[in-house]
Structures are given as C-alpha cells and as structure tokens.
Amino acid sequence: MNFDPIFFRSQFPSLQSEGIYLDSAATALKPLVMIEATNRYYLNATTVLRSKHSQALALDAQYELARVLAADLINAPFNHEIIWTKGATESINLVAQSYARNRLQSGDEIIVSELEHHSNLIPWLQVAEQTGAKVIKWEIEADGTLSTQHLQLLMTNKTRIIAVTQMSNVTGYQPNIAKISQLAHQYNAIIVVDGAQGVIHDAMDVQRYDIDFYTFSAHKLYGPTGLGVLYGKSELLQQMNCWQGGGKMLKTTSFTDFKPANLPYKFEAGTPNIAAVIGFYAVLDWLKTLDSNTAERYTIDLVRYTYKKLCALPNIKIHSRANSPLLSFSFTDIHHDDIAILLTEQNIAIRNGELCAQPLIKALNCKGVIRASFMPYNSQTDADKFLFAVENALSILK
C-alpha cells in the first residue's frame, strides 16, 4: 500500500479553488467518495430500520456495515458498542447524563485535564452541579504536558471519572492514555477519552488501552458533519438510562411504562442522520486503501518544514508540540486577530482565538493563538504560501 500525495490531494474537490486550507483541525475536507455516496442516498432516499421493501433492506445492511467499520477502526470488541450521535460533543453529554448523573454522589470527584476542549469540560461541570460532585482540575506542566505523577496525587477514593483528550486541539500534545487508563482502573474509576482531534491521526485501540468510553466526530475524519461515534464498554452501556425517548429505542410501551431496545438502539431514538452514516461508510471503506502511517509522516514533515521557517520570525511564541500535525503560535507584540484578518485577505484559511479551550489558553499565558493545521492533502506549496502570507502580514502590521 503506497501513499501518493498528489493523487490523494486530487480526491478532494474543494482543493480546486485558489485558497490554501490549513483549518483541518476544525473540520477535514471531504473526499469525492463521501460526496458521491451522500448524493446517491438523496437520489434514492428511504429510511432505515423500519420498512421491509427491498430498497430499505439494502440500505439497512449498508447502515449497519458502517457501524462494523467504525468498530473495526478503534478495535471495539462488539459492533453494538458503537452508538451514533450528532458528534463528539453529544457523545460526551450522553455519558455525563446517562452514566454519570445517576451514579455520582455529593463529594465524588471528576478529574478533567486542563488541555480539554469545552466539549470535554462543560458536560462535567453540569453533571457536577446536578449531583453535588466536584470537578478537579488536572493542571498542565510548565512545558504544556500532563504528568501522570501529578494525576496520581490528585486521585482519591472519591475519584469516579477521568476525562482527558487524546490530542489537544491547541497544542497537538497527546497524553499517555495507557498510563492514565491504568491509574483510573487502579482507583476503580472510569476513563472517558475525547478522540475528536486525535482519531484521524492515530485511531485509538480501545481494547489495548482498556478505554471505558471513547468519542469522536465523523467530520474530522473526512466524513460528514452532524455525525459522531460513542464507544462504550457493553457492561457500562447496559447499565445506562436511555438518552432520549422516541421511535425505535424501545421494545414495548404503554401509557405507564416502556421497555428499552437492545444496544445500540436504546440510545438512537428517532430517524437517524442516514445520509451522514452512509457517507461515513464510504469514508471508512476508502480509508482502508490509504497507507495511514506514511500519510501521517508526510503531514508531520510538512509541519516541521513550516515550523523551522516560522521560528525565524521576530517575537513569535510557538505553543504546539513537536511532531504534531498542527502549528499554534502567537506574537508577543501583535494581536492574533490582526494576523488572522490579513491571512484571510490572502486566501489562507486558518483558525485563531481561544479555540474553545479557554482554560488552556489562560494556562499558556496568551490571549489567543493562530493555528495552522495540516493534513495529507496539503503540500509544500501550501506551506510556502502560508509562510509568505504571515511575513506579509507582519510587514504590514509593523
């Protein structure tokens, strides 16, 4: 299996435009196979898991095969441990409300790392308020990493949950998930891993790392928006209350009671985002043809190339980690918004600001960052144009 960056890039129609796209950490561009699969569905739209005519049954099979491929991606033991949601955000909220809310008691502790995106912080603050539990901040070290020794000092017999990202969307740092999981289970706590940023670069092996809950969004994995995955261990999912009520999440009901459906359907009330699941099936099938390790090395090499040249700029502060697929930086004498506006005027798509990670930005002692995130569809030409645009912006602002 080979990786050809030129051929890979050709599979993304949006790259036909003149602009430079370096905002993949926000959402990845979509390959033609996904666009075509989604279009085919809408040309012959029917529903799933309801009707018995031949077209519906064929769609049922493809819909469930997407679940199989998602389970394969993260090495989940069973297909029914894959729950379709609207995204990683909804997945974490589902765990907080269906698992944690009914188990946490006053004084219980939820350890949340300082690296987290708001999606892996706010749901825990909410459930803590509802139950009387406490959110404990696991602070980053001076170098922006997380210390498992520090984590062990935070853990007590009241620790119930550890919530941590697989990869920071600001710095690209990847915590030691294996060690964190080991510590969590040593204290009879569970680990919830936000894989939204990391899954496209290194899909989590949930069995190897003994992960209790793992979440990610399809749109950051070349897939459609509005679709997410929640993986949970069967024994935990079985214990959880239904997330929402409606069609297809029950076996029987009356005006006094209902009996939930089996996994995974007890958490998938109502008509699902069928087009997104079908589009994601096409993406997951397509990804099996990609040499992902070579593609990732190619991406990291692009970042290294860009990093070396960025470091020569005056008053720059790099916040991202080495060997990360993203570059985040700021200037001590120029506001990030000013740089971002001038980059936009030069057709460079990046992200700037607090990146939905206000506590981390505060810990990094800056008002906001400029983030350029790379993928295998980017090229050295993209990097050079980005660097030229940054230098041009600096010359204007200074």
Give catalytic residues, as residue numbers. 356
The first and second tokens of residue 174, run together, are 């990847």
Alpha-carbon gap, residue 144 to 318, rounded angstroms = 11
Query: Taking a C-beta distance cutoff of 8 angstroms, is the pair 191, 179 a contact?
Result: no
Give the closest residue to 202 by CA, choosing from 225, 172, 228, 230: 172
Strands 348-349 and 20-21: parallel
What is the distance between the terminal CA atoms of the chain, rounded to a whole angstrom?
Answer: 48
Strands 348-349 and 351-353: unpaired
Alpha-carbon gap, residue 75 to 67, rounded angstroms = 12
Give the closest residue to 87 by CA, choosing from 243, 195, 249, 164: 195
Alpha-carbon gap, residue 220 to 21, rounded angstroms = 14
* Phi, psi values for residue 154, rounded to 5°: -80, -25
In sequence order, which residues have a C-beta less than 8 Å from that of residue 137 and are 6 or more positions away?
Answer: 112, 114, 359
101: amino acid identity, one letter: R
Helices marked H in 95-206: 122-131, 148-154, 177-186
3-class SS at 15?
helix
Strands 250-253 and 258-260: antiparallel
Alpha-carbon gap, residue 21 to 170, rounded angstroms = 17
3-class SS at 202?
coil
In this structure, what DSSP letter does residue 177 have? H
Q: Which residues does residue 20 pair with via DSSP β-bridges, in sequence order?
A: 348
